[in-house]
Chain A
Amino acid sequence: MSDRLLDIFKPFEAILPEVIAPQRKVPYNQKLIWTGVSLLIFLILGQIPLYGIVSSETSDPLYWLRAMLASNRGTLMELGVSPIITSSMIFQFLQGTQLLNVKMDNKQDRDLFQIAQKVCAIILTFGQALVVVLTGNYGDPKNLGFAISLLLIFQLMFASFIVLLLDELLSKGYGLGSGISLFTASNIAEQIFWKAFAPTTINTGRGKEFEGAIIAFFHLLAVRKDKKRALFEALYRTNLPNVFQVFATIVVFFSVLYLQGFRYELPIRSTKIRGQVGVYPIKLFYTSNTPIMLQSALTSNIFLISQMLYQRFPHNPIIRLLGVWGIKPGTQGPQMALSGVSYYIQPLSSLSEMILDPIKTIIYVTFVLGSCAVFSKTWIEISGSSPKDIAKQFKDEGMVINGKRETNVYRELKRIIPTAAAFGGATIGALSVCSDLLGTLGSGASILMAATTIYGYYELAAKEGGFSKNIVPGFSDLM
């Protein structure tokens, strides 16, 4: 049954363009160029406006996801990497739960698996493009006309397809790391930089104020007469990014880097090739940033459904229990959950809120930490990195834990991996709560994501020899 499922995708093999894997190992410098060029193409795609848009001034329903999906409103990158991520998540899930039987050691199967993922991504792109255009994101489809609507869908699909190929190019060994994480991380980094250094100004009656926090710091200090109040405003202004947020972002970024280094090193040796002794590191962030991604996906879906239901049936007690929505008194801001379950799982917005409503604080923190830990533990089963899978991998490659019998590998791994996964998930949850509280530039999850990706790149570059210079002692330029 499952084999037949994969075979459905066989006819696409001939049609779909594919990046041919490099014959030889690509040297580091060449990889650097490929990665740079791909990133450049991606960034340019993110700046080209879609042709045929009437307006993109309607409220943005996908705002909270934009940073993580590397998407830019009203440009060719409207969909970002979301179709690719969704498709690869679906297939990883299918494979992990054994619903789809793929023999990864069989080249034919592996190729088919990739093609299936690609086809799925293209279908998802079409679906999403259709939804985006038909829901009137770019103006009422009736006003746009059939031809323009079709053109818009075509543009979106074309751009997404380019991103798909770029990602394939990078992950097949021409570039460093995977394309998706590169694109996402650079998008997040771009936004953080914009918030810190934006040259745009806003005048709301208090004189011109810079949007970028650090520029505003200098500007306010120079322009305002009362330097003390100017400093205070630069640090804590609420209407625009402030310097305190910049510091918070830096702190969170470095604490992620610091925690990345936490690992339990399992001494291992090869039984097949004697003399191969090494360590198998089990990281604290064993599941990387997946738990926080899943957690934010879960909560945002709950919010979306709750909000929709509340608008339809504002008086139904069960729906009211799920969440009561409205504008918080004293703010003009977006709709917030005012009570109900949604209120308690909604991120804390400030320290004062945390102190004023301790029950919410406790419930929220417990919820985030708990759900992250649970997601993390579940994810290792789904993604094929559970103790059982790793033990099997050890056995296939003839690895044993140093000083332990072969049969003990599973026992030992079972002792460490789930603990590491759960604890790591909770840690990343805690970091996310902290960064939301401190009010970092961008959401906590997106900063965690950028930090882990950048650290991954650093490790990769170090491994490929990007930082090592062949320094011979006593060497002079003349030699």
Chain B
Amino acid sequence: MALNYDYDESSETWPFFLLTILLMLLIPLTLMQCYKLIYSKSKKDTRNHEDDKYSELEALNDIDTPEEIIKFRSKYTSKSKLSCLFNWKNLFIVVGWAVVFYLVQRISNNDAIKQAAIGIFDPYDILGISSSSSDKDIKSAYRKLSIKFHPDKLSKDLSADERIVMEEKYVQITKAYEALTDETVRENYLKYGHPDGPQSTSHGIALPSFMVEGSSSPILIMFYISLLGIVLPYFVSKWWSKTQSYTRKGIHTKTASYFVDRLVNYKPSEVVTVDLIIKWLSHAEEFKQFYPSLTSKDFEELLHDHINRKSSNEKGPDRNIIKNRIVAKCHSLLLGLLDIAAGFRNTDVANVTLDTFKCIVQAIPSNPKAELLQLPNVDKEQFENGSLDDIFTIGKLFTFDDERIGKILGIKDEKLLKRTLTVASNIPHIRLLKADFVVPGETQVTPLSTPHISLKVLIRSAKHKIINTESFPESMLSEPQDFEHQRNPFSIIEEQPLIPYSYSPYFPVKRRSAWCCLIALQKDNKIIQTPAIINNLSFHNLSKSLDKREVKMAGKDIKGFIPEDWEIGTIKVPLGQPAPNQEGAVYFRIILKNTDYFGADLDFTMTMNVREYSEKDLQQMREESYNNDDEDSDVDESEEELEESDDEGSDSEYTDIDTDTEVEEDAVEDREIKNNLLFI
């Protein structure tokens, strides 16, 4: 270790230090930004391509979107695109490269560096030859120079000073020659950089001298203090308060505590309505942060204006923009409220929260006929007063011919009617084909096992003829039973495509819908776990034409129906708790609700039959496992279906039991960590 460090007096070295550090940061960052720029472009292309299949509904959505919403969207998206180009990162890159060029300029103009380079002993330079010269070249170069500079050969009329310089030069030439030819001198040169052996060494530090001079030291100290005492704590505390002030669901803690407070004080006698939920929403802290001048009363009014599709501009300037902003924010708030309601096990509030979700997304007040009102171009007055029949669902609507539908909905223009029908037939309806409690690797639900719910559903259009479970071959309803699937039974969900963009022209942001799965116990009708959200399901079936007004039945079979062309969706929901300790049946109520569309819900009962293996089962399993021991192969449990019933017509009652094979792995992973820390 050196005791004394020389500071960089002539700016020889510190620019290099700064240059290297800058380049180390700039090069990866620049590459990353370039990659991102190229990648995001190509990604956009593929997305469009992928969504082509579903673009019919999306295109209609774009047509029906009001002018104002389009303006709102473009305002916020274009802003984000601009900020994509002019953000801190790019600013840093630009400034960084500018500094790099300045430094390079400075280095190349710095005489001190050139001066220092002259002082270095370089035999090739002294002899005036290139470093790849052969021995012969070296010798001839030395000869030539030594003739010129040899003390004996110098002309007499040189002054004493000049003579000394020449003699010095001759010594240098001789040294250089030796350094290249003589073994020991060469060794010395290579090792210590000088033919005479080790020179005195000096240590330096690449800090410009002005940084350590007395006059600048107070500034430096101030800089350190501000860095350690102000800047660092400021950023840490900012990051900290940010992570602390939002819950994991992304809603503000104050909003969350308000919701909790409402639920604590919730009286069972109280009727939960969409209006009540909207009232709760209007107290959200997020809204206040956006627009501190408005009160929760104003927000409530704005939300009501939204669901009644009324303009709010007469109430004040820019009210429509404010409305759109807070409506967009409702997405996170409602999901947060749903979570909190589930935590309080309150089925009613959770249910109505999801209804409110639909109301806000479709901008329709809560109404028994909402399923039809969500369609575009519907003349509300004529629809509600005109027809005598009570039509509440799209399914019922599709039992009439097109002309009649036009009359019922009050749509006169044929083009508009066609559009409305396209939307109606593209709104997903969900039909349960099979529902099981599945314990991975087991054939039945045993006490204290960890089952999950596995649902096989058919996404269909309301105009499709109803297809029964029996119409599909067994193989389409089952899943592979290998170990990988047992280990992660939920992986199969990820393989399904994302749910496409919804038809929601009045919602300020383009959105994808999702299904929320609430699980309640039948005996007390209380939710038992946080709702699962399903984002992946194929809507491929909606483009099929199996119009129930046209297809013909051939006995029990539907003409023109090929099961293999249809896609069966899988929904899997993990259960938060293990199966009960005792044998017996437990009844669950499963509520599957769409966040965006009216009429795309399921509400049914499932029975979990908990029982131990009987002697006979165990006998059979033992035999199986003996066989497996010998063959060393995976266990393929045969699926056993105990009971299945399907209620024709309505989807609301459904009972089913079954068992299968699959996982959870946390407990196991823990052990792995223990192994990692072995050394300590």
- CB-CB under 8 A from A397, the residues of chain B are 667
The distance in angstroms between the C-alpha atoms of A225 and B122, with both chains bound, is: 10
Residues of A163-181 at the interface with B, using a CB-CB cut-off of 8 Å, are 171, 177-178, 180-181
Whether B628 contacts A403 by the Cβ 8 Å rule is yes
Stretch at the interface among A131-139, A205-213, A298-306, A309-317: A205-213
Q: Is the CB of A207 within 8 A of B120?
A: yes
Q: State in angstroms the CA–CA spacing of A285 and B501 once bound together.
A: 47
Q: Are B441 and A278 in contact (CB under 8 A)?
A: no
Q: A275-B451, A290-B678 are in contact. Are A479 and B193 (CB under 8 A)?
A: no
- Chain A CB within 10 Å — which of B124, B198, B206, B325 has the most? B206
Residues of A within 8 A of B107 (CB): 222
Which of chain B's residues has its CB closest to A215's CB? B20
B510 touches A474 (CB 8 A): yes
Partner of A181, one of B21, B667, B679: B679
Alpha-carbon gap, A286 to B578, bound state (A) = 33
* Chain A residues whose CB sits within 8 angstroms of the CB of B325 once the complex forms: 478
* B243 proximal to A (CB < 8 A): yes
**In the complex, A239→B194 CA distance in Å?**
14
| B181 CB-CB contact with A under 8 Å | no
B contact residues, total (Cβ < 8 Å): 98
Which residue in chain A gives the minimum CB-CB distance to B324?
A478
Contact partner, B487, options A206, A279, A283, A399, Cβ 8 Å: A279
Contact present for A273 and B450 (CB under 8 Å):
yes
Q: Please encode chain B, from 447 to 465, with 1 for each CB lying within 8 Å of some chain A CB and 0 for all others.
A: 0111110000000000000
A214 touches B20 (CB 8 A): yes
Q: Is B13 touching A278 in the complex (CB atoms < 8 A)? A: no
The answer to whether B450 and A276 touch across the interface, beta carbons within 8 angstroms, is yes
The 8 Å CB contact of A199, one of B206, B442, B450, B510, is B206
Residues of A within 8 A of B236 (CB): 33
Report if A181-B664 is in contact (Cβ < 8 Å); known contacts: A207-B116, A278-B487. Answer: no
Question: In chain B between 143 and 194, which residues have their CB closer than 8 angstroms to a CB of chain A?
Answer: 191-194
How far is the CB of A209 from the nearest CB of chain B, in Å? 9
Within 8 A of B (CB), among A233-289: 239, 267-270, 272-281, 283, 286-289
Tell me if B669 is interfacial: C-beta within 8 Å of chain A: yes
- Chain A positions within 8 Å of B634 at CB level: 267, 402-403
B316-351 vs A, Cβ < 8 Å mask (1 yes, 0 no): 000000000100110110000000000000000000
**Residue B407 lies at the interface, judged by CB distance under 8 Å to chain A:** no
State how many angstroms separate the Cβ of A136 from the closest Cβ of chain B: 18
Set B16, B483, B501: member contacting A210, Cβ < 8 A? B16
Minimal beta-carbon separation of B282 from chain A (angstroms)? 17
Does B680 sit within 8 A of A, measured CB to CB? Answer: yes
Contact call B664/A275, Cβ cutoff below 8 A: yes
In whole angstroms, how far apart are the Cα atoms of A403 and B487 in the complex?
14
Q: Is there contact, CB below 8 Å, between A280 and B512?
A: no
Does A218 contact B20, Cβ atoms closer than 8 Å?
yes
Complex Cα spacing A170 to B586, Å: 44
In contact, A278 and B193 (Cβ under 8 angstroms): no
Whole-angstrom CA separation of A33 from B237 in the bound complex = 10
Tell me, in angstroms, the Cα distance from A239 to B663 when the chains sit together: 58
Minimum Cβ distance to chain A for residue B232 (Å): 10
A6 at the interface (CB under 8 A from B): no
List the B side residues contacting A171 at CB < 8 Å.
680
Asked if residues A223 and B116 are in contact (CB atoms below 8 Å), the reply is: yes
Cβ of A103 within 8 Å of any chain B Cβ, yes or no, is: no
Q: Which residue of A lies closest to B672 (CB)?
A: A281
Q: Is the CB of B203 within 8 A of A200?
A: yes
**Residue pair B206, A200 in contact (C-beta under 8 Å):** yes
A290 CA to B680 CA, complexed, in Å: 9
A182-197 CB mask vs B (1 if < 8 Å, else 0) is 0000000000000001
CB pair B16–A222 under 8 Å, yes or no, is yes
- Asked if B5 is at the interface of the complex by the 8 Å CB criterion, the answer is yes
Instruction: Verify if A229 is at the interface (C-beta below 8 Å from B).
Output: yes
Q: In the complex, what distance in Å separates the CA atom of A113 from the CA atom of B121?
A: 65
Q: Which residues of B contact A460 (CB under 8 A)?
A: 673
Residue contact B206 to A278, C-beta cutoff 8 Å: no
Interface size on A, residues (CB 8 A): 79
Q: In the complex where A204-B199, A269-B441, A402-B635 touch, is A383 in contact with B13 (Cβ < 8 A)?
A: no
B125 interfacial by beta-carbon distance below 8 Å: yes
* Residue in chain A with minimal CB distance to B671: A280
CA distance A448 to B131 in the complex (A): 40
A210 and B206 within 8 A (CB): yes
Partner of B662, one of A223, A275, A478: A275
Q: Is the beta-carbon distance between B511 and A479 smaller than 8 angstroms?
A: yes
The reply to whether B80 and A477 contact each other, CB–CB distance below 8 Å, is yes
Which residue of chain A is the closest to B507 with respect to CB atoms? Answer: A479
Query: Do B511 and A278 touch across chains, with their CB atoms under 8 A apart?
Result: no
Q: Is B406 an interface residue (CB 8 A)?
A: no
Task: Answer whether A403 and B678 are a contact pair too, CB < 8 Å, given A197-B21, A206-B194, A281-B672.
Answer: no
User: Chain A residues near B2 (CB, 8 Å)?
Assistant: 200
Query: Contact: A473 with B535, CB < 8 Å?
Result: yes
**Whose C-beta in chain B lies nearest to the C-beta of A331?**
B191
Q: Name the residue of chain B whose CB is nearest to the CB of A465.
A: B248
> For window 380-397 of chain A, which residues contact chain B by CB distance below 8 Å?
383, 385, 393, 397
The reply to whether the CB of A10 lies closer than 8 angstroms to some CB of chain B is: no
Chain A's closest residue to B326 (CB) is A478
B512 to A278, Cβ gap below 8 A?
A: no
| Contact of A203 with B by CB under 8 A | yes
Interface residues as binary, B496-509 with A (CB distance below 8 Å gives 1, 0 otherwise)? 00110100000011
Say which residue of B121, B204, B677 sits within 8 Å of A178 (CB atoms).
B677
Beyond A267-B483, A402-B483, whether A277 also contacts B16 by CB under 8 A is: no
Point out the residues of chain A lying under 8 angstroms from B250, CB to CB: 470
3 pairs of A and B residues whose beta carbons are closest in the complex: A205-B199, A206-B193, A274-B449
What are 15 sample pairs from A and B whose C-beta atoms fall under 8 A apart?
A: A29-B240, A177-B677, A199-B206, A204-B193, A217-B20, A222-B113, A239-B191, A275-B439, A275-B449, A277-B440, A277-B487, A278-B664, A279-B487, A289-B679, A470-B248
Interface residues in chain B, defined as those with a beta carbon under 8 Å from any beta carbon in chain A: 1-2, 5, 8, 12-14, 16-17, 19-21, 23-24, 76, 80, 107, 113, 116-117, 119-122, 124-125, 131, 191-194, 198-207, 236, 240, 243, 248, 250, 325, 328-329, 331-332, 439-442, 446, 448-452, 483, 486-487, 498-499, 501, 508-512, 514, 535, 578, 625, 628-629, 632-635, 662-665, 667-669, 671-673, 675-680
With A29-B240, A215-B17, A281-B672 known, 8 other A-B pairs at CB within 8 A are: A200-B2, A200-B5, A201-B203, A226-B122, A279-B665, A403-B628, A470-B250, A476-B328
